Chain A
């Protein structure tokens, strides 16, 4: 915030307030930036508007954003679902996967982050390095053995292979929270210790309430990643009643016939709604999370 107020452009702009003159530079700036922003958004708008078009019209009128006629029956048709499952089932499955994964990832990561940020123990540097390396490790290297292990213990076609690993911390979130905890004055810990708090008491009563913003950021990203995740559901789930939204959409695409374009677009829009909604509600956390730790 401080940096924002100190940008060099801030000053001349304030001077212009009492000198109302047509500022063509400013107008050109907004024209160019605004046009570019609209161009970026065009595909999303196209998807949204196509979901209100009749399936037969989607590609005949692909150049136009205005549905004619404007219909909402695509949503009802799409909601009926596919492969004998209502779209509501897919959403329920996604929510179960996302909910448990997120709770697991955020709680475990905060415990681990506290350990790394506040306790000095033998081998800390080594384990911290392991964590940093695991952030960069391609998932493909562990994907096949993980699949074999989960198959051997009979977890295939269940949510367990997707949810359980999240309960052991997520490197990005741990890193984010470690950064956050390091900025909390150590005096707070010491005061709590004098008051008779143990390690866990300090974590639970002092640190945890203060790292809520970092936990919120982690929760939001966990939500995004798990909601959009495709490869794990493709690997581990094979009966449609267990499909999450991402895999259900793929099913729509695979069975695509000339008649259900509208329904597929409508359900694509539905699948993006929670993501966009959370984005607008919690933008501040997202922007901070990305700018401070490079979360994608």
Chain B
């Protein structure tokens, strides 16, 4: 039965041929071109000039803005992703019970994730944190007379972006909720018999059994956080300001490529981004054995 009937190879390739063509045309060839361009100076209009490692050298030693965007992006990722996952886990645990209202709550918590990537929401966020926006007015009604100029100071402007990403914890929450439902109640019952308190149950049962899902989320969210573009582009009106405080990596790359037409430099930036994302993923995978617990099969 395991024999491969004649024609199977042909049939297989026929079915996946769209993928192979697309993969070559829209991924592999562009990647090779991008790698080549990263060693050139190219403005889209005249032919690319080979400059060797000059773009990479400029990036790490000459371009101060580059270090700013690295700092801004890492702050965004390293603060945003853990906060988002923490919220997702807390709310998922809150919703992991039998109640008629759970479906409603789940919908409400998930709604921000569904619309969160849109321009409309970025516009909304920009105005809520505006000088005359809701947040300042509510602070005023709470007796805080000091207006916070969220978008005039680099740190607070970046934190509004981080908050916007935390606000969209819904999709991770759904994944955690599915994971929580798969944990057998017997574990908790056994722990209760042994007199475990809720904290012990959380750290000894919930967290270890959920760790593969947390790990998966961590990898995917870190990668996508690194590539965030729309909110920074809309909220700072394409500038990345104030004082480059919201200049996320994708935004700076976009500016270099399509505002200044430094295609070579932007390509080099893209390759460094690929390396950073790859490295982060590798670190997550390498360290995962210390904290990810896969259920053993022998039980």
Whether, in the assembled complex, A241 has its beta carbon less than 8 Å from a beta carbon of chain B, the answer is no
B130 touching A59 by the CB < 8 A rule? yes
A142 touching B31 by the CB < 8 A rule? yes
* CB-contact partner of B117 in A228, A234, A254, A292, under 8 A: A228
Whether, in the assembled complex, A182 has its beta carbon less than 8 Å from a beta carbon of chain B, the answer is no
Whether, in the assembled complex, B79 has its beta carbon less than 8 Å from a beta carbon of chain A, the answer is no
A283 touching B98 by the CB < 8 A rule? no
B19 touching A131 by the CB < 8 A rule? yes
Cα(A143)–Cα(B178), bound, Å = 35
Q: A108-B18, A120-B8, A250-B234 are in contact. Are A62 and B120 (CB under 8 A)?
A: no
Cα(A111)–Cα(B223), bound, Å = 28
Count of chain A residues with Cβ under 8 Å from any Cβ of B? 101
Cα(A147)–Cα(B270), bound, Å = 14
Whether, in the assembled complex, A21 has its beta carbon less than 8 Å from a beta carbon of chain B, the answer is no
Shortest C-beta distance, A176 to chain B (Å), equals: 14
Shortest C-beta distance, A180 to chain B (Å), equals: 16
* CB-contact partner of A142 in B30, B136, B226, B229, under 8 A: B30
B119 touching A246 by the CB < 8 A rule? yes
Whether, in the assembled complex, A103 has its beta carbon less than 8 Å from a beta carbon of chain B, the answer is no
Whether, in the assembled complex, B258 has its beta carbon less than 8 Å from a beta carbon of chain A, the answer is yes
Question: Quick one: closest B residue to A174, CB to CB?
Answer: B19
A275 touching B115 by the CB < 8 A rule? yes
- Which residues on the A side are within 8 Å of B257 (C-beta)? 143-144, 147
List which B24-72 residues lie within 8 A (CB) of chain A: 25-27, 29-31, 33-34, 37, 44
Count of chain B residues with Cβ under 8 Å from any Cβ of A? 102
Whether, in the assembled complex, B15 has its beta carbon less than 8 Å from a beta carbon of chain A, the answer is yes
Whether, in the assembled complex, B78 has its beta carbon less than 8 Å from a beta carbon of chain A, the answer is no
B8 touching A272 by the CB < 8 A rule? no
B273 touching A138 by the CB < 8 A rule? yes
A294 touching B20 by the CB < 8 A rule? no
- Which residues on the A side are within 8 Å of B25 (C-beta)? 168
The interface residues of chain B, by DSSP majority, are classed as helix
Whether, in the assembled complex, B211 has its beta carbon less than 8 Å from a beta carbon of chain A, the answer is no
Point out which of B33, B114, B121, B182 has the most chain A C-beta atoms below 10 A from its C-beta.
B114
- Which residues on the A side are within 8 Å of B267 (C-beta)? 144-145
A43 touching B11 by the CB < 8 A rule? no
Cα(A63)–Cα(B128), bound, Å = 10
Whether, in the assembled complex, A195 has its beta carbon less than 8 Å from a beta carbon of chain B, the answer is no
List which B3-30 residues lie within 8 A (CB) of chain A: 4, 8-9, 11-16, 18-23, 25-27, 29-30
Binary contact readout A269-284 vs B (1 if CB under 8 angstroms, 0 otherwise): 1011001100110010
A112 touching B16 by the CB < 8 A rule? yes
A41 touching B105 by the CB < 8 A rule? no
Binary contact readout B212-239 vs A (1 if CB under 8 angstroms, 0 otherwise): 0000110010011011011001100100
Binary contact readout A5-40 vs B (1 if CB under 8 angstroms, 0 otherwise): 011111001000000000000000110111011001
Shortest C-beta distance, A26 to chain B (Å), equals: 8
A268 touching B124 by the CB < 8 A rule? yes
B15 touching A140 by the CB < 8 A rule? no
Whether, in the assembled complex, A92 has its beta carbon less than 8 Å from a beta carbon of chain B, the answer is no
B125 touching A43 by the CB < 8 A rule? yes
Pick the 5 closest A-B CB pairs, nearest first: A168-B22, A121-B12, A115-B15, A291-B178, A268-B120
Interface residues, chain B, with chain A CB atoms under 8 Å away: 4, 8-9, 11-16, 18-23, 25-27, 29-31, 33-34, 37, 44, 91, 94-99, 101, 105-115, 117-121, 123-128, 130, 132-134, 136-138, 140-141, 167, 171, 174-175, 177-178, 181-182, 185, 188-189, 216-217, 220, 223-224, 226-227, 229-230, 233-234, 237, 250, 253-254, 257-258, 263, 266-267, 269-271, 273-274, 277, 281
Interface residues, chain A, with chain B CB atoms under 8 Å away: 3-4, 6-10, 13, 29-30, 32-34, 36-37, 40-44, 46-47, 50, 58-60, 62-63, 108, 111-112, 114-116, 119-122, 124, 127, 130-131, 134, 136-149, 151, 165, 167-169, 174, 199, 203, 224-225, 227-228, 230-231, 234-235, 245-247, 249-250, 252-254, 261, 264-265, 268-269, 271-272, 275-276, 279-280, 283, 286-287, 290-292, 294-296
7 more contacts with CB within 8 A, not counting A46-B128, A134-B27, are A47-B124, A130-B23, A136-B281, A199-B15, A227-B118, A271-B118, A290-B174
